[in-house]
Amino acid sequence: MNRFARAGLLAATLIGIAVAGWTVGAVGARQVFVAMAAIGWLGMGAFLLCSVGVLLLLGGAWLVTAPGQPLRRLPLFVWARTTREAATDVLPFSQLGGLVVGARTLGVRGVPDSLIYASMVADMTTEMAAQLLFTIGGVAALLVVLTSGPVHAGLVPLAIGGLGVMAVLMIAFVVGQRPVLKLIGALAARMIPGSVEAVGAVRVQLDAVYRQPKRILAAFALNLLAWVGSAAGAWVALWFMGSHVPLWAALTIEALIFTLRSVAFAVPGAIGIQEAAYALIGPVFGLPPTTALALSLLKRARDLIIGVPAILAWQAGEVGALVAKRAEPA
């Protein structure tokens, strides 16, 4: 990443932090923190357990797109997905860091590189498709709810616009998979000896994955369950916070938030955008702005609680592997 890109990310982050701070201050910082504390230790534990369940589903989806990997390797793929998510959450300036860390986690345990990257592409494709379906449901629910009111009606173009952008991104990702791999292979052939074979192996492996529709459908189903499970986790957190909104309302709110986060991928962690979106969307479904913002901050706290230990454990494992490799006789 060049210095101009880093400067842009830093500027986006600082602006996002300012927006988040202003949003919390405008709603009432004290009230937001009181709402956060209302979840209690038991509620936070339940919230974290829901997140662990989602990681199990995500790891399973990745394993399904890796033909030849036995079911007993599910814990490995769950751990790889955990480190992948942790790096994305904890190292926001490294936008590809999560993918690299996840791939490295599998690679050091003997999974072939071609299978790692092919399965990652297939997994990301099914994940985006599942999110698109989940978002369509959220937008449909929003359109049903927004029957009157100029403020609420203003959310319609925002939601539909986000859905449209996400659909375009997914189509571009799906259509561009093979051409991009071909381009990478052509460029790498001029710079890195042996790279053509490596990229070609990924393309062959990716084609092999896509020739197994049952695996793709299974990955899609698991990723869809993960999206629903993640939203249900937010509903659990709200319940412990004393805000008993209907489950369908929580699912709709989270579907819209997930969409805005995906569209705002250029902003590290969607900082500021997530907070403003919660404050804007929450009241439409009967969620006070203070509680909505408290949920947003609790989700960030959860990401750190899971992410920081995961990254530290992954780093310790990397150091151990390096030491063991150096200790081997030449």
Ranges 92-106, 177-191, 231-245, 269-283: which has the least confidence: 177-191
Per-residue tokens: 164: 């449209």
- The residue among 99 and 60 whose pLDDT is bigger is 60
Looking at residue 18, its pLDDT comes to 87
Ranges 109-113, 169-173, 321-325: which has the least confidence: 169-173
Tell whether the model's pLDDT for residue 154 goes beyond 90: no
- The residue among 198 and 60 whose pLDDT is bigger is 60
Q: With CA atoms as reference, report the closest residue to 121 among 54, 183, 176, 186.
A: 176
Radius of gyration of the chain (CA): 21
Q: What predicted TM-score, i.e. pTM, was given to this entire model? A: 0.86
Task: Please report, for residues 78, 131, 141, 327, the alpha-carbon distance to residue 137 in angstroms, rounded to integers and kept in the order given.
Answer: 27, 10, 6, 55
Alpha helices in 241-272 (DSSP H): 247-263
- Report the percent of the chain where pLDDT is more than 90: 42
Tell whether the model's pLDDT for residue 124 goes beyond 80: yes
Per-residue tokens: 257: 């938030």
Residue 186 CB contacts under 8 Å (≥ 6 apart), including other chains: none
Ranges 30-34, 78-82, 227-231: which has the least confidence: 30-34
Q: With CA atoms as reference, report the closest residue to 229 among 62, 88, 108, 56.
A: 56
pLDDT class of 193 with cuts at 50, 70, 90:
very low
Do 31 and 290 contact (CB within 8 A), yes or no?
yes
**CA 288 to CA 279: how far, in whole Å?**
8
The rounded mean pLDDT for the chain is 83
Per-residue tokens: 255: 């579907």
